[in-house]
Structure formats: structure tokens, C-alpha cells
Amino acid sequence: MAKSKIAKTQKKPEIKRKNEIYKIIVSCVLILLFVLLLCLVLKEFFAKENGNNGGLSDENFSFYDSETCRCIERDRLRCNEGFELDSKNKLCRSADGKEVTNVILACSKYECSGFVYEFNFENQAWEMK
């Protein structure tokens, strides 16, 4: 009888210790999930802030408003930043000429609040049609 009481009293602290370890593990997992979720939300937020201009920053888009304009034709060849257009081969080449990538078909005609703006390829400017 004495041995069973001793065995029972030894098991209780062992069970309490396991419960504490499980609580710590669950808390760490929850904190990790929260931090991961927070990182994803912040990444999306900053991606929207950085991409707000839609890649239109280096050209004159005085007519452009993302709320009222929509692209209706994509015929302009463009390159990512750091690349130059090789219009003969329809490729984008890096400044040193070592890297090659595909061109981007940028919008060549917008419809904004009932007005149509078209890119003039001869003088490289936007015109209202």
C-alpha cells in the first residue's frame, strides 16, 4: 500500500511538468503563427503601396486614374528596370548585354471616363482620340 501512494505522488509532478511543457510548446506555435500571419499581411500591404502606380511612373500619364481607366489594347513593348529594349529582336537586354529576358506588353490604349487615350509610336507620346 505504501508503494502505490509513493508511485501516485511521483506521477502527479511528472504530469504537471508535461502539461507545462505542452503549454509552452502550444504558446510558441501560436506566437510563431501570429508572427507569420503578420509578415504576410505586411508584405501584401507594402506590395500594394509599391505597386500603386502600376509601373506607370516613368511616362507622362497626366490623364491616368486607376479608378476610372482601363486598358483596352496592349501593343507597346517595354522592359523591366535595368533592361533595355532590343526592338529588332523583341527582347530586353541588360546594360552589360549578358542577360536577356522577354519584353512586357504594356498598354497602348486606355479608356478613361469615356475618353480614349492612345500611344503614338512615332513621337512616343500619349494622344486623346
Q: List per-residue pLDDT tens for the chain, 129 residues long.
A: 455 555 555 567 788 888 899 999 999 999 999 999 998 888 877 776 554 444 444 456 777 777 788 899 998 888 888 899 888 888 999 888 888 998 988 888 999 888 898 988 888 888 888
- Sheet of 83-86: strand order equals 83-86, 91-94, 100-101
* All structural domains of the chain with their residue ranges: 1-50, 69-128
Residue matched to cell numbers 535595368: 82
Question: Strand, coil or helix: what is 85?
Answer: strand
